Amino acid sequence: MAYGPVFAGLLLLWPLLAVLGTLGFAPLLGLTGIAALLLARPRMPPPVYCLFAIAFVGWAAISELWSPASKGLFSGNLLEGNFAIKARSVIVVLTALFAMLTLAGALRSQLTPRTRRWIYGALIVQGVLVFLSAVAAGPVLALIYGTDPNIADGVQNVGRNTNAFAVVLPILAAALGAQGDRRGILAACSLVLLTLLAALMMDNHSTVFAIVGMIGAVMLVRFLPNLGFRWLFGLIGANIAAAPLVMSLIIRGLSSIDAYLPASFRSRVAAWELVMSRVGESPYVGHGLMASRTWRDSYSDFPALAAKFPETWALYPVVPGHPHNMPLQIWAETGLIGAMLAAFAVMTFGFRLPRPADFSPATRYAIAGMAGAVFSIFNFSYSVWNEAFWSGLALSAAMLILLDRSRRQHD
C-alpha cells in the first residue's frame, strides 16, 4: 500500500522532466522500479504477455552480438567520472526490467484521494507548459540559445514534451468526459482541441497523428464494448507482424500524391523504402540492435531520389539514425523472430485484458486513447530502442493502473 503514495510523490517530477525533453523519464522509471521492488513486492510469475515481451527484449539484446553498431559493454572509468554504458542492450534490458517492476507494483497498490490529486495535478501542469510552449517557445528559445545552432535541441525538447502529453492526454480527457454531464464532455473536448491547436502551432505532426489515433481508438471501444480491446491490440500486433507489407502498400498509395507532400514527409518515405530493402538482406534474424544507425547512405548515392529534394540535401543520410517507424525497425534489426515475439506480446495483452465494459468509463477510454496515441507515435517517431519514450509510456500506464484502483476503492 505504501508504494502508491511514493509513486505519486516521484511523479511530481513529471512536468519538469517533460519540459526538459523527457530524457529524465528513464532515471525516474528506475526510481519507481526500485521503490516497487522494496515496497510492493511484485508477484511472480509474470503473465503470459510479459513472457513474450521478455523474450522479445532478450532476443533484441542478443542481436547486438552481430550488429555493426555494437561498441562493447562499457567505456571509461567510474573513479575518473567518465564511465558510460555503451552496450545498448544493457539499457534496453534495464528499461524493460524497471518498467515491469513499476507496473507490477502499481497492480498491488492504491492511491489515497490526496495522492490521486497529485498525479492529476502533475499532468495538468504539463498541459499548461505545452500550451505555453506553443505560444512562447520561439522567443524563449531564441533568448536562451541566441545564434547557437544547438537551438535545434531546444526545439526537439519542446516536441518531445508535446508528444509525451499526447500519451497522457487520454487520462485527463477520459476523467473529465466520463462524468457524463454536458460540462464534463465539453471540458474533455476542449482539452483535446486545445492540444491539437498547440501541436499545429508548433508544426508537430506527430502529436496531431497521435490525437487522431486516440480518437479513433476511443470510438472503436465505444462501439465495441465487448471486443474493442481485442480488435485494437490485435490490429496493433498485426501491424507489427506485417510491417513490410503494410509499409509497401502505404508507400505505393503515397506515390500518387508524392508531389504534394512536404519534403520532410517525403524523406520519411525514402527512409522507409531503404530500410525495407535492408529487411530483405536478413529477413529472419535482422541486422542487429541499432544497426540502422550505421546505414549512412546519402541522397547523393541515389541520383533519382536526390532529384526529388533540394540540392542541399545531397549529403544528408537517407536514414537519419533510425527509420522513424518502430515496426519496420523491429523487422530490420531483429528480423522475423523479433517481429513475431513483439506482435504476440501485444496481441496476447489485448486478449488477456478484461472487456472494455468491465472497466469504468474513465479507465476504458483512457486505455483505448493511450493505445491509439502510442500506436500513431509508434509509426512516425522515435527509435524503437528509445528508453525515454518507453519509460514515459510505462510511467503513464502505471498512473492509469493506480488511478483505476483508487477509483474502484474510493468512488
In this prediction, residue 315 has a pLDDT band, given cuts at 50, 70 and 90, of confident
Per residue in 199-220, pLDDT (tens digit) is: 998 888 889 999 999 999 999 9
Give the residue numbers spanning the domain of 195: 3-215+381-410
State residue 94's pLDDT score. 95
State residue 140's pLDDT score. 67
Q: What percent of the chain has a predicted confidence (pLDDT) above 90?
A: 60
Which range among 183-187, 218-222, 269-273 has the greatest average pLDDT? 218-222
State residue 158's pLDDT score. 82
State residue 398's pLDDT score. 96
In this prediction, residue 151 has a pLDDT band, given cuts at 50, 70 and 90, of low
User: Higher-confidence residue: 140 or 98?
Assistant: 98
Which range among 17-26, 130-139, 233-242 has the greatest average pLDDT? 233-242
Q: Would you call 347 exposed, middle or buried from its count of C-beta atoms within 10 A (0-12, 13-18, 19+)?
A: buried
Residues 6+ apart with CB under 8 A from 198: 130, 131, 133, 134, 162, 207
| Three-state DSSP state, 187 | helix
**Mean confidence (pLDDT) of the chain:** 88
**312 domain-assigned:** no
Lowest mean pLDDT among 36-50, 139-153, 309-323: 139-153
State residue 149's pLDDT score. 58
Residue type, 398: A
State residue 139's pLDDT score. 72
User: Does pLDDT of 392 surpass 80?
Assistant: yes
User: Higher-confidence residue: 295 or 264?
Assistant: 295
State residue 133's pLDDT score. 86
**10 domain-assigned:** yes
Lowest mean pLDDT among 32-41, 192-201, 306-315, 387-396: 306-315
State residue 237's pLDDT score. 96
Task: Please report how many Cα atoms fall inside a 13 Å half-sphere around the Cα of residue 387, on the Cβ side.
Answer: 22
**85 domain-assigned:** yes
Lowest mean pLDDT among 44-53, 222-231, 233-242: 44-53
In this prediction, residue 253 has a pLDDT band, given cuts at 50, 70 and 90, of confident
Report which of 395, 355, 52 is spatially closest to residue 226, judged by C-alpha positions. Answer: 355
Separation CA 76–CA 82 (nearest Å): 5
In this prediction, residue 278 has a pLDDT band, given cuts at 50, 70 and 90, of very high
**264 domain-assigned:** no
Mean pLDDT of 132-158: 69
Per residue in 105-143, pLDDT (tens digit) is: 999 898 888 999 999 999 999 999 999 988 877 676 666
Mean pLDDT of 261-268: 79
User: Does pLDDT of 189 surpass 60?
Assistant: yes
Structural domains of the chain, count = 1
Per residue in 333-387, pLDDT (tens digit) is: 999 999 999 999 999 999 999 999 999 999 999 999 999 999 999 998 889 999 9
Per residue in 33-70, pLDDT (tens digit) is: 999 999 987 777 788 889 999 999 999 999 999 998 88
**15 domain-assigned:** yes
Report which of 337, 367, 328 is spatially closest to residue 349, judged by C-alpha positions. Answer: 367
In this prediction, residue 145 has a pLDDT band, given cuts at 50, 70 and 90, of low
**238 domain-assigned:** no
Q: What is the pTM of this model?
A: 0.92
State residue 329's pLDDT score. 95
Cell of 262: 512536404
User: Does pLDDT of 80 surpass 60?
Assistant: no
State residue 304's pLDDT score. 82
Residue-by-residue DSSP string for 332-355: HHHHHHHHHHHHHHHHHHHHHSPP
Mean pLDDT of 77-99: 78
Mean pLDDT of 162-181: 90
Mean pLDDT of 159-163: 90
**178 domain-assigned:** yes
Region of 382 (left: φ > 0; alpha: ψ -120 to 50; beta: rest) is left
Cell of 107: 497492480
Per residue in 374-390, pLDDT (tens digit) is: 999 999 888 999 999 99
Q: How many Cβ atoms sit within 10 Å of the Cβ of residue 176? A: 19
**26 domain-assigned:** yes
